[in-house]
Amino acid sequence: MTLLPIIFIAGNCLQAKDLFIAAAADLESLQTDVTAAFHKRSGAGLKFTIGASGILEKQIENGAPYDVFLSANEQYVKDLAASGAVDPATVRTYAYGRLGLWSRDGRIRDVRQLLGKDVRNVAIANPEHAPYGAAAREFLTRHGLWRLLQPKIVYGENVRQTLQYAESGNADATITSWSLVVTRKDAVLLPADHAPIAQAAGVVATSKQKALARQFLDFLGSPAGRAILERHGLTVGRTE
C-alpha cells in the first residue's frame, strides 16, 4: 500500500464530522451502504482507506491519523489495544467472515478442480498480513491441497487484489472473501474449515472524534448495521 491514502487523510482532518476508517479489504463492497446509513443517522461522513489488515495495523502503529480500525483479524486490534494505539474499552468483534471461490468463466466449482492442468494460477491474499490469505492457506492445508497447489499460487496484497487477478485473467480462480463475491454468478461459499475469521474493531487512540467514532461502532452493532453486514456476506454470529 502506498502512502497516498494517509497523505490524503492528513490533508482533510480539519473537515468537520468526517470519520476516517481504516478498513479491511473484504469490506470494500459495503462502504457505500454503511456511509449512507450512518450519515442518515448521525449527519457524519465516512472516509474509507481499504487495505490488508496487517498493513493497516502497521500504519496505525506508525501514527496514521485514522479514527476507527475495522480489521479482518481480531488479533491485530487486540495488539494495538495492548500497545495503547487503540482504546481497549472500544474493542469489539463486529462480524465473522467466510471464504469464497470464484472464477471468471464459472467453471471452477470445487477446490479440487484447482489441481487440473488447465488451471495455471490460483490467487489468494498474502497470508503474512491478510487474514483471508491465512484462512485460505489453512483451508487448503486441511484438504490436503496446499503443497500440491503451491506452485500455482499467486499472492495479492489483499483480497480485493486477488479478485482483480481473477477478473483480469491473470489468475484462473481466486479464493477470496465471500463478501466480495456474494452477489456474483457462480461464486461458491466454501466450508468453514479454518479458524474463525473474527473481525474486530476499535477506536484509534489518537482520534480527535472519539465520541463520534464510538457512535459509529455502536451503529455497526445495531440492527441496521448488522443487516448491512449480513447483506454483504458477513455474519454477525460465530460460524462453526
Q: Model confidence over 51-80: pLDDT tens digits? A: 999 999 999 999 999 999 999 999 999 999
The strand ranges marked E within 106-196 are: 122-125, 153-156, 173-177, 188-189
pLDDT mean across residues, the chain: 92
236 occurs within a structural domain: no
153 occurs within a structural domain: yes
Segment 138-154 mean pLDDT: 97
Q: What is the pLDDT of residue 238?
A: 55
Segment 77-99 mean pLDDT: 98
**Identity of residue 27:** L
Number of domains in the chain: 2
Same domain for 200 and 93? yes
Task: For residue 26, give the CATH number of its domain.
Answer: 3.40.190.10
Q: What is the pLDDT of residue 107?
A: 93
Same domain for 91 and 208? yes
173 occurs within a structural domain: yes
Same domain for 107 and 32? no
Segment 12-22 mean pLDDT: 70
Domain that holds residue 36: 4-97+196-231
Q: What's the order of all strands across the beta sheet hosting 68-70?
A: 45-51, 18-24, 68-70, 197-203, 92-97
Same domain for 113 and 226? no
Same domain for 120 and 35? no
Same domain for 22 and 49? yes
Q: What is the pLDDT of residue 17?
A: 81
Same domain for 117 and 177? yes
Q: What is the pLDDT of residue 31?
A: 95
pLDDT reading at 7 higher than 90: no
